[in-house]
Structure 1
């Protein structure tokens, strides 16, 4: 049995409810597979693939595609369990009209996409490599390595604050229009005045990573593109990843936007981001091009703790530091060193406090989930031919959530559990038959697996007349469970079953209802309810595990996983 197969057969394989700790074995490499071979449910993955293809249709949204074309890859335990490629790498003219068929170029598995801000991860890795060598310290002022950066009150800003976007720098400046050449543009970035006191708040800023790209160059004596090539892409065998791709690769590169300001025409093979373009295509915040396969290699290297196929680019400690939240004082803005954390809007059901990744403005997303040793990568050219066609966030979320729902949540009691994987703006219910007249409190007990965003909730309700429902306080036990009685269950990242107990007030014709409700955005892995049991003193009056027909399900289904 090969190394990858041995790793795939270990504890927790194919499971969402058995979160893993630590990294995957160093020997794990990417292997073509199928969901079934990986122990996954193929249906959510196939559904996601179909939806992503459908969104490339010419009339998918408001008379145009959600994105011109895209490619995606899903990885679990080193096994490639999902892939899709659809739509056009080159498809439209400047006005959004479809090109003649002989001038269109379809997206294929090896299509090269502009990664946009996903470039920030490569720059961050390059910085961490310098930290490992002792050439840079995270706690040191940036001005120690780039003296010009100390201007205008930035003398205390640290390397770590740039990586975590807590430097106080503004989000961006218009380098391409306001400054004449690369030297003056970099000078403008280094001399800029902070908008807020360094360390006082979170502001996502391209300038942080442009600065770090310059820091890497100053410390190594090499340009950033060479540092990335020699330290990351070459060791990992990422042959189609880099800045300023050569003309020989143009036939495989997806077009992006038709730009009139600046006057660049239809952009293809050159970075879309205007500031990166003004910096000759090499900048710390944008400029990398890549393929889904290459990005999957990087993902697996990180899941392995910084090593892939014998090539180590980071230590385990460095990877661990990069995906740990350094912004706990800024709730809602969790951030590692370069990596975003726990962002449900594109990480979907894979979200957790250690789920890490990044997106790119051109339509890309990169997600790694160490707790299930999985990755979801989606590359699109959503700005082709115009950025005005909208956001690909629904596609990003569905791709990651498809993988999460393919991973099993095994029933807590018996052979199946009630499952609801509602989409947005939905309600699902489980309702008991009438429990009759009760002259004292009855006890309801059940198990719940809840993976939702904070605004999607599961409640237990009771009624005595069938129309006026009241929520019932619940006491909950289990990893990540609330410590005080609550009237709503919500949460993500714990990936564990909870044991729930509630006291139901007495009354005539008491009926119970479990209600799961989602809002307009960002659903998670979903909700499982199992082992429903209601007792009146020592007497069991409802046991849904033995008699599921006593439950009326709307939006819930019995599932074995």
Structure 2
């Protein structure tokens, strides 16, 4: 647990980044301001203590306020052997942050266009559910708010392995072909028909009769196909064309290894003991996303802190970035508000939200920082990522790490409350102090 004395440790101050080259506007994050030196020291203290405690081998933090970057620094190394130092601009596996940075922008755009309606039955857009009595009446709103009673997760890796741990040849091969076209890792290819098996298991999964908050990522495995059905465009192409490219977020991508992104700039994740039996580097950590070829709505997106900040700034501006509107204000407000508070469900539509009593809690219990407004929203990822936008305070928070290295059993990031502690530091800065030029 982080104590007050923990924050008072004095360490080296951070170095500041140079301004970006694109046209300067109030919300394009290419200008900077300086935070008080005391904040620099406290952030360094939190990060250094976390690395020493093996919460993660390295991390990167970017914070923007009122459209200007007020903090951006990387810490540590890619791995604990300290061979490759973390640098600003390194690519991280975003894990479940993919849900709000790939699936959700596509869904929100389709809502704006009237192609998806929130209170319509999900089975309208996913036809197999029309024949499932327990699923046919579930609405898009209930599902996005994790209020539908769906199972949290299905481990599909079990379906590709024999009892002796070897691959079933009908599902996995070591060389690509017309059938085995889904890359799961170097020299590892999944039968493209396996996705249909995944769909069938999701379709047949149980639904609870009790409608309460229960986080489920299952439908995020379906959104890529739904987007393709509604738009005629492949999911990856759709989000790149309509969001990443115009935002200038060129590093938001799936399967970076296949895109030729330099391996020494990609932060590795875990030693996979489940089926790849190798060090996961440049390929998605999440097993279900990997079995879909690395392109999914639940996980699979990679990105840099700077490009994630662009997307989050657009969200914080209620759909506008650099003078261009991507999502209507009405849709952003609807998706970013709590949907079922009467059921003690804190969630928005796809977005995570503060605990309903967050302002009353101490740092040791709050999620995110207790100072975050109730209008704020964001999401976390299993690999140790966390992104947040607070419109009331004009704050964007992007924290990227690989806490699953070398194993997912490492939970010090959570027990030490690292992300909440870091976020809290930036709420404590008086506005005039955060507005000083560097």
Instruction: Bin the TM-score by the shorter chain.
Output: 0.7 to 0.9
> Which residue of the other structure, out of 271, 274, 296, is the alignment partner of 1:283?
296
Moved more, 356-365 or 142-151: 142-151
Structure 1 alignment gaps of length 5 or more: 1-25, 93-97, 411-561
Q: Check the 8 A contact 1:174/1:275 in 2, yes or no.
A: yes
Q: Check the 8 A contact 1:232/1:313 in 2, yes or no.
A: yes
The 1:212–1:407 alpha-carbon spacing in structure 2 relative to 1, beyond 3 Å, is farther
Aligned position for 2:317? 304
Does residue 396 of the first structure (1) align with residue 396 of the second (2)?
A: no
In 2, Cα distance between equivalents of 1:230 and 1:370:
26
In 2, Cα distance between equivalents of 1:292 and 1:182:
31
Per the TM alignment, residue 262 of structure 1 is displaced from its structure 2 partner at its CA by 1.5
Aligned position for 1:113? 92
Does residue 340 of the first structure (1) align with residue 352 of the second (2)?
A: yes
Per the TM alignment, residue 33 of structure 1 is displaced from its structure 2 partner at its CA by 2.1
Does residue 406 of the first structure (1) align with residue 401 of the second (2)?
A: no
Per the TM alignment, residue 401 of structure 1 is displaced from its structure 2 partner at its CA by 0.5
In 2, Cα distance between equivalents of 1:190 and 1:365:
30
Aligned position for 2:43? 48
In 2, Cα distance between equivalents of 1:407 and 1:262:
50
The 1:106–1:409 alpha-carbon spacing in structure 2 relative to 1, beyond 3 Å, is closer
In 2, Cα distance between equivalents of 1:350 and 1:152:
44
> Which residue of the other structure, out of 58, 61, 68, is the alignment partner of 1:72?
61
Q: Secondary structure at the match of 2:77?
A: strand
Q: Check the 8 A contact 1:121/1:358 in 2, yes or no.
A: yes
Compare the two structures and name the one with the higher strand fraction.
Answer: 1
Aligned position for 1:141? 121
In 2, Cα distance between equivalents of 1:226 and 1:129:
14
Aligned position for 1:237? 248
Per the TM alignment, residue 375 of structure 1 is displaced from its structure 2 partner at its CA by 1.1
Is the radius of gyration larger for structure 1 or structure 2?
1
Aligned position for 1:465? none
Aligned position for 1:541? none
Q: Secondary structure at the match of 1:235?
A: helix
In 1, Cα distance between equivalents of 2:322 and 2:380:
26
Matches within 5 A, 1:507-518: none
Q: Secondary structure at the match of 1:256?
A: coil
Matches within 5 A, 1:36-435: 36=35, 41-56=36-51, 60-61=52-53, 65-89=54-78, 91-92=79-80, 98=81, 104-122=83-101, 123-150=103-130, 151-178=132-159, 180=171, 181-197=194-210, 200-245=211-256, 246-331=259-344, 333-343=345-355, 345-393=366-414, 394-407=417-430
Q: Secondary structure at the match of 2:262?
A: helix
Structure 2 alignment gaps of length 5 or more: 1-24, 161-170, 172-193, 359-365, 434-438
Q: Secondary structure at the match of 1:264?
A: coil
Q: Secondary structure at the match of 1:377?
A: strand
Q: How many residues align?
A: 362
Q: Check the 8 A contact 1:69/1:380 in 2, yes or no.
A: yes
Moved more, 298-307 or 357-366: 298-307
The 1:400–1:133 alpha-carbon spacing in structure 2 relative to 1, beyond 3 Å, is same
The 1:218–1:391 alpha-carbon spacing in structure 2 relative to 1, beyond 3 Å, is farther
Q: Check the 8 A contact 1:326/1:334 in 2, yes or no.
A: yes
Q: Check the 8 A contact 1:349/1:405 in 2, yes or no.
A: no
Per the TM alignment, residue 45 of structure 1 is displaced from its structure 2 partner at its CA by 4.7
In 2, Cα distance between equivalents of 1:211 and 1:273:
16
Q: Check the 8 A contact 2:26/2:68 in 1, yes or no.
A: no
Per the TM alignment, residue 409 of structure 1 is displaced from its structure 2 partner at its CA by 11
Does residue 28 of the first structure (1) align with residue 4 of the second (2)?
A: no
Q: Check the 8 A contact 1:350/1:369 in 2, yes or no.
A: no
Q: Check the 8 A contact 1:349/1:404 in 2, yes or no.
A: no
In 1, Cα distance between equivalents of 2:26 and 2:282:
35
Q: Check the 8 A contact 1:148/1:191 in 2, yes or no.
A: no
Q: Secondary structure at the match of 1:47?
A: helix
Q: Check the 8 A contact 1:71/1:380 in 2, yes or no.
A: yes
With structure 1 as the length reference, what TM-score do the two structures score? 0.62
The 1:69–1:348 alpha-carbon spacing in structure 2 relative to 1, beyond 3 Å, is same
Compare the two structures and name the one with the higher helix fraction.
Answer: 2
The runs of at least 4 consecutive aligned structure 1 residues that moved more than 6 Å come to: none
In 2, Cα distance between equivalents of 1:263 and 1:210:
20
Q: Check the 8 A contact 1:212/1:284 in 2, yes or no.
A: yes
Q: Secondary structure at the match of 2:76?
A: strand
Q: Which structure has more RCO (C-alpha within 8 Å, separation ≥ 6)? A: 2
- CA displacement, residues 484-505 of structure 1 (integer Å, 9 cap, x when unaligned): xxxxxxxxxxxxxxxxxxxxxx
Per the TM alignment, residue 205 of structure 1 is displaced from its structure 2 partner at its CA by 0.5
Q: Check the 8 A contact 1:27/1:310 in 2, yes or no.
A: no
Q: Check the 8 A contact 1:114/1:287 in 2, yes or no.
A: yes
In 2, Cα distance between equivalents of 1:283 and 1:187:
16
Q: Check the 8 A contact 2:221/2:296 in 1, yes or no.
A: yes
Please provide the CA RMSD for this pair. Answer: 2.0
Q: Check the 8 A contact 2:373/2:393 in 1, yes or no.
A: no
In 1, Cα distance between equivalents of 2:326 and 2:246:
7
In 2, Cα distance between equivalents of 1:162 and 1:215:
14
Matches within 5 A, 1:423-502: none
Aligned position for 1:551? none
